Amino acid sequence: MLAFRVIFLLIVVSGAVSYVGDKIGRYIGRRRLSLFGLRPRYTAVMVTIVSGILIATITFATFIVLSREARLALFGMEELRQKIMTLENVRNGLEKEIEVRRKGALLFRNGDIMLTTLLKGGMSRKEAAAKMVQVNSLLNLYVQKSGKVLIPADKLNRAAELLSQRSEDQVLRVKVLRNVIFGEAIPVEFIFTANKLVFQDGEEIVESKISPSLTDPEIEQELQALLSSAREIAEKKGVIPASSGSLGSIPYAEIFNTVKEIKKQRSLITVVVIASRPVYSIGPLSVSFSL
């Protein structure tokens, strides 16, 4: 409303100045008066120019007096620009500090698996919802001193709906969605995978030939490499690593005994990594060496 009043006032004042200037110009022209030693015709032109200057000056002064934005644009722009630059520098510094803190005192990294658990298939919608509430409580209990798991209600509901539609047992993994430092909320997502049989008891996973002429440490390295290959194969076939990232292990005593057995041989011997019991998607990857 104020803007319309200002515009109206400017129109009225500008019109009045123009009218007065025109009258003065006509009067000077008829009387052939002279100002500052100018000829009457140039004096009239001068009056017209002065009228225009007055209109512009009044318009300018009105905006300066009535508009804070106009005053800021004319007299405070440089100061405002300096403040903006200062605030941007402060913001950039804070962002860098946050990034350093994220890297230096991380509770979880982006992609970490907080929890891996087995859920029975064939649940009703109500049972599935109750189970997901239990999972949420378990997660918050796990991090109660260092953060809080952030799971919106609609995400819990979608997970419960999905679980109720699965007839097979499901492996649930809870994945962290970004780097999280101590005290922050922890955004996560649910990943469901059917818990299928991957290896039968005694099934061969991988094999390799090892020479008994190698030293004990060299044979041990060969066995460790063979075990690593078994882990890679198992993961590709669907065996899920534990939340810690580990997948399959053999007691050192068995490795030691296997080295001794290989040393007793007189020629290359085939060493096989076999499943020591049925292995499902949930794991664990239980394996042993067979000669």
How would you classify the pairing of strands 185-194 and 113-119?
A: unpaired
Q: Which residue has the tokens 């009535």?
A: 66
Exposed/middle/buried for 289, CB within 10 Å: 0-12, 13-18, 19+? buried
Question: CA distances (Å), 253 to each of 103, 114, 156, 224, 260, in order?
Answer: 38, 31, 45, 13, 11
∠ at Cα 239 (158, 277), nearest 5°? 125
Mean pLDDT lowest among 99-103, 229-233, 260-264:
99-103
Q: Which residues have a Cβ under 8 Å from the Cβ of 120 and sit 6 or more positions away?
A: 169, 170
pLDDT at position 73 is 60
Summarised one tens digit per residue, pLDDT across range 77-105 is: 667 777 888 888 888 777 766 665 655 56
Using the predicted structure, report yes or no on whether residue 174 has a pLDDT greater than 60: yes
Q: Which residues have a Cβ under 8 Å from the Cβ of 69 and sit 6 or more positions away?
A: none
Domain edges within the chain:
1-66, 107-195, 198-290
Q: Which residues have a Cβ under 8 Å from the Cβ of 168 and sit 6 or more positions away?
A: 121, 194, 195, 196
Query: What mean pLDDT, rounded, does the chain reach?
Result: 80
pLDDT at position 280 is 92
